[in-house]
């Protein structure tokens, strides 16, 4: 298991944000920032971080406000995933990349910087890179949340809008309709249907949550659902100059794969690779899918850094 000291910084809103920076045994050849998906915790990325540390990368990761070990949006109801300002989340990534990493990592300004971003993290990272295209020399977008599927499969946009409107009626601070707290029973049922075919990797986050209930987070509150959907509408017209590699599972039921491919086609430097049997969490998939997935990332980074 990779080891690094747990630290915190304050974002522009004063929220305490948990982070770790891992360094290889020799001088880093580059810095990789990890941008988590929704409701995740940095401990989930141990396997990925260990892989890249062994490749000679320094690895920097933080928990988004509202999840993991960072401050929660509703302190009296920490299970509610409450982050009702996506611009504030983007600003948190900006501070981490531009202030915290250079402060905490020797020679960070002299090293190449690359990005691995998953799902919601990829969405927020794209918004950051649209304004700061040189922040990363290249970026991997794993199952990016360009649009999400309210019912678990792709629907017309007008129907998505209707479903989100129904699910977000009422007070912004309450759980979205059909939403609730995280439970192990529900997680064990949903994971093989939505996230990964690999039972061992699929149990990593539930095991983390079970061992440390403070890290648990459930569904969006209604205000955050509305903000997430608003941002997916806005991102359709975003243009990113950073070289991108988009990796998609053809069996993904969480995000709208068709919308992601359409977004990629509009970008000036975006390669797309599809994985026939992949669900949403390609980095947590069975080896038959994960090995070529990891090879694609390694090749993309190596080619661009050479």
CATH homologous superfamily of 7-305 equals: Alpha/Beta hydrolase fold, catalytic domain (3.40.50.1820)
Residue 1: pLDDT band (50, 70, 90) is: low
How far apart, in whole angstroms, are the C-alpha atoms of residue 78 and residue 93?
A: 22
* pLDDT of 37: 98
How far apart, in whole angstroms, are the C-alpha atoms of residue 56 and residue 52?
A: 6
How far apart, in whole angstroms, are the C-alpha atoms of residue 106 and residue 101?
A: 9
Has this prediction a pTM greater than 0.85?
yes
Residue 304 in this model has a pLDDT that exceeds 70: no
Task: Confirm if 225 and 176 have CB atoms less than 8 A apart.
Answer: yes
- 3-state class of 294 per DSSP? helix
Each residue of 35-55: pLDDT tens digit?
A: 999 999 999 999 999 999 999
**What is the number of alpha carbons within 13 Å of residue 289 lying toward its C-beta?**
24
Neighbouring-strand partners of residue 248: 274
Write the CB contacts of 283 (distance below 8 Å, at least 6 apart in sequence).
Answer: 47, 48, 118, 142, 290, 293, 294
- Write down the domain spans for the chain: 7-305
Supply 221's token pair: 């509150």
């Amino acid at each position: 298991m990779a080891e690094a000291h747990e630290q915190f910084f304050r974002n522009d809103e004063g929220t305490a944000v948990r982070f770790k920076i891992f360094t290889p045994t020799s001088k880093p050849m580059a810095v990789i920032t990890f941008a988590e998906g929704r409701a995740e915790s940095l401990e989930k990325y141990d396997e990925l971080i260990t892989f890249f540390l062994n490749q000679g990368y320094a690895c920097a990761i933080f928990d988004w406000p509202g999840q993991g070990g960072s401050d929660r949006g509703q302190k009296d109801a920490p299970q509610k995933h409450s982050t009702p300002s996506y611009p504030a989340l983007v600003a948190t990534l900006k501070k981490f990349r531009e202030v915290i990493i250079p402060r905490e990592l020797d020679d960070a300004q002299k090293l190449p910087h690359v990005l691995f971003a998953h799902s919601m993290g990829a969405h927020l990272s794209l918004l950051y890179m649209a304004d700061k295209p040189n922040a990363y020399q290249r970026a991997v977008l794993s199952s990016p949340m360009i649009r999400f599927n309210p019912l678990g499969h792709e629907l017309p946009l007008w129907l998505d809008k209707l479903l989100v409107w129904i699910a977000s009626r009422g007070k912004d601070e309450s759980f979205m309709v059909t939403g609730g707290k995280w439970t192990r029973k529900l997680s064990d049922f949903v994971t093989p249907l939505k996230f990964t075919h690999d039972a061992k990797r699929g149990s990593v986050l539930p095991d983390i949550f079970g061992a440390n209930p403070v890290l648990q987070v459930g569904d969006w509150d209604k205000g955050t659902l509305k903000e997430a959907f608003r941002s997916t509408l806005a991102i359709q017209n975003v243009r990113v100059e950073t070289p991108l590699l988009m990796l998609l599972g053809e069996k993904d039921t969480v995000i709208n794969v068709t919308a992601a491919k359409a977004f990629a086609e509009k970008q000036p430097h975006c390669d797309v690779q599809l994985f026939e049997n992949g669900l949403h969490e390609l980095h947590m998939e069975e080896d038959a899918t994960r090995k070529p997935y990891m090879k694609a990332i390694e090749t993309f980074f190596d080619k661009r850094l050479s």
